Structure 1
């Protein structure tokens, strides 16, 4: 397929901010982390507790948003920290150890000026076949030969003050990548896959849970970058979703500022039906332009929620089904509706305005929610309609030049 990385200088696309409802959803802060923490991803466990990754520090944190006494901050607990690169050994993974070691020794390590020079913590993806088993990606940004797929076993975990039982296993190296970012699971019963976004090279890789093998799942120009901004991701967030008829993999591309999707068949592969009959190239549906998105999720009705990180908002796109290139004549440049569900607040110039919001009220960025990076819905009866959000405090685009606390937030939709 065509190469997905464009090395030509290009102007980044313009982000479209969206509209704020008259009464934005309220939110509560579940936990805070000190400035400089880069909360990158989260997973909500079946019991309602949360796992969150701190990308720069290579840490995985446990938080219980349902603490009985309401003090959720005191439940924050470190469950794992990625340390050095380690040594590739036969016991560490199911694959060709000799080949992996040879590629590392051959000097396939190139730096692109990424965020960290130590092992990072990226996506947290729950197994589609075994509850409380999670798949993680870690490596050094921009350096080939350092990236691995890991398994985090939370099945015996007991939070403090009881003894903690957490098992972490290295499963497979991914020696050719430089930045594994977002991830999702495709729950096929015999071919269950974990998809991994390679944000600099513009590819989706897969890890087969049954066989332990890694390969390129999809390469396409719309997954790749369009500018030379080194730390800016191409494909970033990915999310599998099955509607009433089809399976889809939704994705964001931060550098191109698009939200797209590709159809998936019953085996977890991109089906032949998505190929252009004339060129045999995979056809990706571009649903939204002007969306500088990070990670994303969907609700049961097919609404899409996107964290925009440096744009400081979480956007909701109601039930997108029509690709931009399939729009009616004269509507090609029209963008789908987008609503801001987190990130802005009304300026309160008077007590009257505070109690009776007016349609023409002015708005400002909420300093307590800057840098939202990932979103996920709750899993219990009390929060299944609430959206959890992790932030980095505005590291990429500091509000007023100030990096603030990173937070875990609960948005009451």
Structure 2
């Protein structure tokens, strides 16, 4: 592994016992983050030591997991029932866009979300315990299994399998990239325009305690390693891993879960990271949103306002 250790700066730190799961960046730079220890969605300003504003509490649920932007400033979020003590409640998961978009009674643990088609309103939904990637049409509510591969499935009984899922931002061929936490891999599979898989998935990088991720403008993966307290860059063609920030004993990056680039001119070289905080462990810190300033040419995609 190449090493390029950078500083992680707290944007907002939540109280102990609050664990963050995922985040999305608005076009104006503000950060939306989901909480997995409560059914809460927060808005955080992208400045050091900023405050957090509670946007909504989904009172009929216990947790929020994935979040993704489809149309401009229109976000979709997963709500469901899960606890670190009793585990998941299959069939309890729904996807919301202010009003409910779709109930997923067959969902076992809906986790990561990834955009397939902004125009058609198609998003991937990682079902971590079922070991499949579902495809949701947010306009019709129709949902079905799009990718079911050995590499999306758990390696052990009750293992947390497919976790983050995102579509490659460039290249002649379109791939769905996904992480499998139980298998410790980042993998990809070639996909049809309708989101179904072409052939079998392949491993991009392995032996990594992976959670969710994003892409930089060169197509590299910026990966949160929840079990290593690190954020790394993975070259998707070679599998080479470069450490960007954190270490096994880091409390600043205690169990990072998601990484997203800023969207303003002044923060496209910055990665915002949600922190679990080690909830459920004997030692823990509060969940947090952190900002990592990346050196050199590493930066996110420049997205136009629609």
Structure 1 runs of 4+ with >3 Å offset: none
Any idea what SS the aligned residue of 1:222 has? helix
1:37 is matched with which residue: 10, 14, 18? 18
Q: Select 1:132's aligned residue among 44, 64, 73.
A: 73
Alignment partners' CA distance in 1, 2:3 and 2:164: 23
- Paired residue for 1:195? 124
1:73 counterpart = 2:54: no
1:251 deviation in Å?
A: 0.5
Larger strand share, 1 or 2 = 2
Find the counterpart in structure 1 of residue 108 from structure 2. 178
Mapping 1:176-325, distance limit 5 Å: 176-187=106-117, 189=119, 191-228=120-157, 230=158, 232-270=159-197, 274-275=198-199, 283-318=200-235, 320-321=236-237
Helix, strand or coil for the counterpart of 1:376?
strand
State the TM-score, normalized to the length of structure 1: 0.67
Residues 250-284 of structure 1 deviation map (CA, whole Å, 9 limit, x = unaligned): 100000011101112333333xxx33xxxxxxx10
Distance in structure 2 (CA, Å) of the matches to 1:188 and 1:82: 25
CA gap 1:81/1:308 in 2 versus in 1, 3 angstroms: same
Alignment partners' CA distance in 1, 2:288 and 2:226: 13
What does residue 143 of structure 1 align with? 89
Q: Give the aligned partner of residue 300 of structure 2.
A: none
Spell out, residue by residue over 1:159-217, the C-alpha distance to the aligned partner (whole angstroms, 9 max, x if none): xxxxxxxxx2111110011100011011263x331111000010111111332211111
* Cross-structure match for 1:156: none
Q: Which runs of 5+ in 1 are unaligned?
A: 1-17, 85-117, 152-167, 276-282, 323-335, 345-363
CA contact (8 A) 2:161 2:182 kept: yes
Distance in 2 (CA, whole Å) between partners of 1:61 and 1:241 is: 27
Whether 1:52 aligns to 2:33 is yes
Cα distance in 2 for residues equivalent to 1:27 and 1:314: 10
Quick check: 1:121 aligned with 2:104? no
**Highest Rg: 1 or 2?**
1
Match of 1:83 among 59, 70, 87: 59
Answer yes or no: is the 8 Å Cα contact 2:135–2:195 preserved in 1.
Answer: no
> CA separation in 1, counterparts of 2:151 and 2:209?
14
Q: 2:104 and 2:194 mapped to 1: Cα distance?
A: 22
Q: What is the rounded CA distance, in whole Å, between the counterparts of 1:57 and 1:312 in structure 2?
A: 22
Name the SS of the counterpart of 2:115 in structure 1.
strand
Match of 1:370 in 2: 254
The structure in which a higher percent of residues are helix is 1
**2:241 alignment counterpart:** 338
Flag the 1:50–1:188 CA change in 2: closer, same or farther, 3 A.
closer
1:61 and 1:235, CA in 2 relative to 1: closer, same or farther beyond 3 A?
Answer: same
Deviation at 1:372, TM superposition (A): 0.5
Equivalent pairs, count: 289
- Alpha-carbon distance between aligned partners in 1 of 2:180 and 2:241, rounded to the nearest angstrom: 17
Contact kept, 8 Å, 1:309 with 1:394, in 2: the verdict is: no
Give unpaired runs (5+ residues) of structure 2. Answer: 83-87, 295-306
Cα RMSD over matched residues? 1.7
Report Cα offsets for 1:26-80 as digits up to 9, x if no partner. 23110000111110000000000000001121110000114xxx6x423x10001
Residue 12 of structure 1 is matched in structure 2 by none
Tell me the distance in 1 between the aligned counterparts of 2:245 and 2:74: 30
Question: In the aligned structure 1, how far is the partner of 2:271 from the partner of 2:169?
Answer: 19
